[in-house]
Amino acid sequence: MPITYTKLSRDIVEISGTDQRNFLQGLISQDIEKVTSENCVYGTLLTPQGKFLHDFIILQKDDLLVFDCEQGRSADLISRLSRFKLRADVHLESHPETMVYAVFGDGAAERVGIDQTVGATMLVGDVLLSVDPRTEDLGCRLIGPEASIIKFLQDHDIPEVAFDAYDQRRIARGVPDGTRDLEVEKSILLESNIDELHGIDWEKGCYMGQELTARTKYRGLVKRRLHAFETTVNAAEPGDPILSGDKEVGNVRSTNGNLLLASIRTDALESEKPELSLKDSPLKRIMETD
């Protein structure tokens, strides 16, 4: 696939203050100490019962921690985190003027001059450049002033494409896109591929929702997973049921073109060639090697 770029619809929240890391460490599923000027991470904020609230990418810029989060939900993220501030020296602020772009395609990291390791990060002028910490297949992310990002892309002779090209790549790799695929206060991380996308640190200490997350893993309680499918149904919509025979075994989450991400019961995929359908049309599962 040729190397291209597209603009992403994201919000940026910056966290400052001397207590920023201690404050976050007991709240999120990722180890905040892994965030450096050369490395970013993917993590989540959960309810005390271990249910999904927010997911985000965390980067460091100078003495700030930068949260790359779902568009339209930054105010809720700030509100939820602020409940735990008490007297901690922590300041949270949204930055609607800061933009996020993605560069993707075979060899994207090499093209923009960064190590291809997931999470690798560097500051280029006033632009934060990083390899997506979830999977290198989603390429690199650029965060900063829009004019600076556009100049960087032009200097590297990278053409623009529609967002759909990136979104289909995301779906095909089973990567959830916030509330398009996850249900607030309902979804759990191991049923949402968050563990496979490096969103959980199993070695860190306690954090909010850790007990259920650990119990789900060590007791083998995962009964559903997000999987990518190809369909001939052009009008597939989030919430549409997916059937195995006449039995409902899952439902559609996000869609783009003929691709969709769906939450499916794991037992429905246990046969060698599971026969799943959507609106009377067969579904083809997209495997990681496709």
Confidence of residue 211 (pLDDT cuts 50, 70, 90): very high
Cα–Cα distance between 281 and 42 in angstroms, integer? 35
Domain boundaries, the chain: 4-172, 178-285
Per-residue pLDDT at 185 exceeds 90: yes
CATH classification (class only), 178-285: mainly beta
Q: Answer for the pair 227, 245: CB distance below 8 angstroms, yes or no.
A: no
Task: Supply the mean pLDDT for the chain.
Answer: 95
Q: In the prediction, which pLDDT does 290 show?
A: 41
| Minimum mean pLDDT range among 5-19, 206-220, 265-279 | 265-279
pTM of the model: 0.95
Q: What is the pLDDT of residues 33-67, one digit of tens each?
A: 999 999 999 999 999 999 999 999 999 999 999 99
Whether the CB-CB separation of 109 and 155 falls below 8 Å is answered with no
Strand ordering across the sheet containing 241-244: 281-282, 276-278, 241-244, 247-256, 259-265, 224-230, 284-285
Contact (Cβ atoms closer than 8 angstroms) between residue 196 and residue 227:
no
Q: How far apart are CA 66 and CA 141, in angstroms?
A: 13
Tokens 């949402």 sit at which residue?
A: 192
pLDDT confidence bin for 288, thresholds 50/70/90: low
DSSP 78-102: HHHHHTT-TT---EEEE-TTEEEEE
- In CATH terms, the fold of domain 4-172 is Gyrase A; domain 2 (3.30.1360)
In tens, the pLDDT along 227-240 reads 999 998 878 899 99
pLDDT category at 289 given cuts 50, 70, 90 is: very low
